Protein backbone atom coordinates (compact mmCIF):
# COMPACT_ATOMS: atom_id res chain seq x y z
CA UNK A 1 0.00 0.00 0.00
CA UNK A 2 1.20 3.52 -0.76
CA UNK A 3 0.94 6.24 1.86
CA UNK A 4 1.31 10.01 1.67
CA UNK A 5 3.88 11.00 4.30
CA UNK A 6 4.81 14.50 3.12
CA UNK A 7 3.10 16.29 6.03
CA UNK A 8 4.01 13.80 8.74
CA UNK A 9 6.45 15.21 11.29
CA UNK A 10 9.04 12.77 12.63
CA UNK A 11 11.70 13.04 15.30
CA UNK A 12 14.65 10.62 15.08
CA UNK A 13 16.79 10.19 18.19
CA UNK A 14 20.19 8.52 17.96
CA UNK A 15 23.59 9.52 19.32
CA UNK A 16 25.42 7.82 16.42
CA UNK A 17 25.49 10.28 13.47
CA UNK A 18 25.81 7.53 10.80
CA UNK A 19 22.71 5.75 12.14
CA UNK A 20 20.84 9.04 12.41
CA UNK A 21 21.67 9.82 8.79
CA UNK A 22 20.78 6.32 7.59
CA UNK A 23 17.42 6.33 9.36
CA UNK A 24 16.59 9.80 8.02
CA UNK A 25 17.56 8.71 4.49
CA UNK A 26 15.27 5.69 4.68
CA UNK A 27 12.39 7.82 5.92
CA UNK A 28 12.98 10.31 3.10
CA UNK A 29 12.93 7.41 0.64
CA UNK A 30 9.53 6.40 2.06
CA UNK A 31 8.27 9.94 1.34
CA UNK A 32 8.69 11.72 4.68
CA UNK A 33 9.77 15.36 4.31
CA UNK A 34 9.48 16.80 7.85
CA UNK A 35 12.26 15.01 9.72
CA UNK A 36 14.01 16.43 12.76
CA UNK A 37 17.01 14.82 14.44
CA UNK A 38 18.30 14.77 18.00
CA UNK A 39 21.51 13.23 19.32
CA UNK A 40 20.55 13.19 23.00
CA UNK A 41 17.50 12.31 25.06
CA UNK A 42 17.44 15.76 26.68
CA UNK A 43 17.39 17.51 23.30
CA UNK A 44 14.78 15.07 22.00
CA UNK A 45 12.50 15.79 24.96
CA UNK A 46 12.88 19.56 24.44
CA UNK A 47 12.11 19.20 20.73
CA UNK A 48 9.14 16.94 21.46
CA UNK A 49 7.66 19.47 23.89
CA UNK A 50 8.18 22.35 21.42
CA UNK A 51 6.89 20.57 18.30
CA UNK A 52 3.83 18.63 17.36
CA UNK A 53 5.43 15.40 16.07
CA UNK A 54 3.44 12.53 14.62
CA UNK A 55 6.07 9.85 15.22
CA UNK A 56 9.28 9.31 17.19
CA UNK A 57 11.94 6.81 16.16
CA UNK A 58 14.49 6.46 18.96
CA UNK A 59 17.52 4.36 19.70
CA UNK A 60 17.70 2.56 23.03
CA UNK A 61 21.20 3.69 23.97
CA UNK A 62 21.32 7.47 23.94
CA UNK A 63 22.58 9.88 26.50
CA UNK A 64 22.26 11.23 29.16
CA UNK A 65 19.46 8.71 29.75
CA UNK A 66 18.24 5.95 27.45
CA UNK A 67 15.32 5.62 25.07
CA UNK A 68 13.33 3.73 27.69
CA UNK A 69 13.52 6.69 30.08
CA UNK A 70 12.73 9.08 27.22
CA UNK A 71 9.61 7.05 26.46
CA UNK A 72 8.65 6.96 30.13
CA UNK A 73 8.87 10.76 30.28
CA UNK A 74 6.90 11.23 27.05
CA UNK A 75 4.14 8.93 28.28
CA UNK A 76 3.95 10.14 31.89
CA UNK A 77 5.17 13.70 32.43
CA UNK A 78 2.60 16.38 33.05
CA UNK A 79 4.03 18.70 30.38
CA UNK A 80 3.95 16.02 27.67
CA UNK A 81 2.07 17.52 24.72
CA UNK A 82 1.09 14.14 23.26
CA UNK A 83 1.24 11.06 25.48
CA UNK A 84 -0.27 9.00 22.64
CA UNK A 85 2.49 9.60 20.08
CA UNK A 86 3.67 6.40 18.36
CA UNK A 87 7.25 5.54 19.36
CA UNK A 88 9.44 3.06 17.52
CA UNK A 89 12.39 1.82 19.58
CA UNK A 90 15.56 0.71 17.78
CA UNK A 91 18.07 -1.52 19.52
CA UNK A 92 20.92 -3.85 18.73
CA UNK A 93 19.78 -6.01 21.62
CA UNK A 94 16.79 -8.24 20.95
CA UNK A 95 16.69 -10.26 24.15
CA UNK A 96 13.14 -10.91 25.27
CA UNK A 97 13.72 -9.05 28.53
CA UNK A 98 14.71 -5.91 26.60
CA UNK A 99 11.71 -6.08 24.30
CA UNK A 100 9.42 -6.57 27.32
CA UNK A 101 11.06 -3.67 29.16
CA UNK A 102 10.49 -1.39 26.17
CA UNK A 103 6.91 -2.62 25.84
CA UNK A 104 6.29 -2.04 29.54
CA UNK A 105 7.20 1.66 29.37
CA UNK A 106 4.93 2.26 26.38
CA UNK A 107 6.94 1.66 23.21
CA UNK A 108 4.60 1.20 20.26
CA UNK A 109 6.93 -0.88 18.06
CA UNK A 110 10.37 -2.46 18.49
CA UNK A 111 12.96 -2.62 15.70
CA UNK A 112 16.13 -4.71 16.00
CA UNK A 113 19.38 -3.34 14.55
CA UNK A 114 20.72 -3.94 12.03
CA UNK A 115 17.46 -3.69 10.13
CA UNK A 116 16.43 -3.57 6.50
CA UNK A 117 14.43 -0.73 4.98
CA UNK A 118 11.41 -3.01 4.71
CA UNK A 119 11.60 -3.72 8.47
CA UNK A 120 11.28 -0.03 9.30
CA UNK A 121 8.55 0.43 6.70
CA UNK A 122 6.58 -2.51 8.15
CA UNK A 123 6.70 -0.98 11.63
CA UNK A 124 5.30 2.27 10.26
CA UNK A 125 2.67 0.37 8.31
CA UNK A 126 1.58 -1.45 11.49
CA UNK A 127 1.16 1.93 13.22
CA UNK A 128 -1.21 2.97 10.45
CA UNK A 129 -3.05 -0.25 9.66
CA UNK A 130 -3.24 -1.86 13.11
CA UNK A 131 -3.22 0.90 15.72
CA UNK A 132 -3.53 -0.31 19.29
CA UNK A 133 -5.73 1.27 21.92
CA UNK A 134 -3.98 2.98 24.80
CA UNK A 135 -4.32 1.67 28.31
CA UNK A 136 -3.94 3.62 31.53
CA UNK A 137 -3.42 1.58 34.65
CA UNK A 138 -1.87 2.24 38.03
CA UNK A 139 1.71 1.79 36.84
CA UNK A 140 1.38 1.82 33.04
CA UNK A 141 0.34 4.16 30.28
CA UNK A 142 0.84 3.15 26.67
CA UNK A 143 -0.40 1.00 23.81
CA UNK A 144 -2.22 -2.16 24.80
CA UNK A 145 0.50 -4.76 25.31
CA UNK A 146 -1.65 -7.62 24.04
CA UNK A 147 -1.07 -8.17 20.34
CA UNK A 148 -2.73 -11.49 19.60
CA UNK A 149 -6.31 -11.16 18.50
CA UNK A 150 -8.52 -12.91 20.97
CA UNK A 151 -5.67 -13.32 23.46
CA UNK A 152 -7.04 -14.15 26.88
CA UNK A 153 -5.54 -13.36 30.21
CA UNK A 154 -4.38 -16.58 31.87
CA UNK A 155 -3.31 -15.23 35.26
CA UNK A 156 -4.73 -15.83 38.73
CA UNK A 157 -7.49 -13.20 38.34
CA UNK A 158 -8.83 -14.66 35.09
CA UNK A 159 -12.61 -14.86 34.86
CA UNK A 160 -14.20 -18.07 33.71
CA UNK A 161 -16.87 -18.29 31.00
CA UNK A 162 -19.71 -18.28 33.57
CA UNK A 163 -18.48 -14.97 34.96
CA UNK A 164 -18.25 -13.48 31.45
CA UNK A 165 -21.80 -14.67 30.71
CA UNK A 166 -23.05 -13.13 33.95
CA UNK A 167 -21.35 -9.82 33.16
CA UNK A 168 -22.70 -9.88 29.59
CA UNK A 169 -26.24 -10.58 30.89
CA UNK A 170 -25.92 -7.80 33.47
CA UNK A 171 -24.78 -5.37 30.75
CA UNK A 172 -27.67 -6.44 28.50
CA UNK A 173 -30.11 -5.91 31.39
CA UNK A 174 -28.67 -2.42 32.02
CA UNK A 175 -28.94 -1.59 28.31
CA UNK A 176 -32.55 -2.82 28.19
CA UNK A 177 -33.43 -0.79 31.29
CA UNK A 178 -31.80 2.34 29.85
CA UNK A 179 -33.61 1.88 26.52
CA UNK A 180 -36.94 1.46 28.33
CA UNK A 181 -36.29 4.64 30.34
CA UNK A 182 -35.49 6.57 27.17
CA UNK A 183 -38.65 5.29 25.45
CA UNK A 184 -40.73 6.21 28.52
CA UNK A 185 -39.25 9.73 28.60
CA UNK A 186 -39.88 10.17 24.86
CA UNK A 187 -43.49 8.94 25.25
CA UNK A 188 -44.05 11.26 28.27
CA UNK A 189 -42.61 14.21 26.35
CA UNK A 190 -44.84 13.44 23.34
CA UNK A 191 -47.91 13.22 25.59
CA UNK A 192 -47.35 16.73 27.00
pLDDT digits (tens, 9 = 90+) for 51-105: 989 999 999 999 899 999 999 999 999 889 999 999 999 999 888 998 999 999 9
Q: Tell me whether strands 140-143 and 134-137 are parallel, antiparallel or unpaired.
A: antiparallel
Query: What is the arithmetic mean of pLDDT over 31-38?
Result: 97
| pLDDT band with cut points at 50, 70 and 90 for residue 146 | confident
Q: Which CATH number fits domain 9-143: 1.10.10.10, 3.40.718.10, 3.40.50.2300, 3.90.280.10?
A: 3.40.50.2300
Residue-level pLDDT at 164: 53
What's the whole-model pTM score? 0.75
Amino acid sequence: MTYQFENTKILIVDDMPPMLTLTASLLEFFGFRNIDKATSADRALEMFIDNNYDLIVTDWQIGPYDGVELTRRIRNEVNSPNRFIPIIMMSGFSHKIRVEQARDVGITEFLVKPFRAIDLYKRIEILIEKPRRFVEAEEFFGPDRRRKKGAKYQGPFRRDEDEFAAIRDMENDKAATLLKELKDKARDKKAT
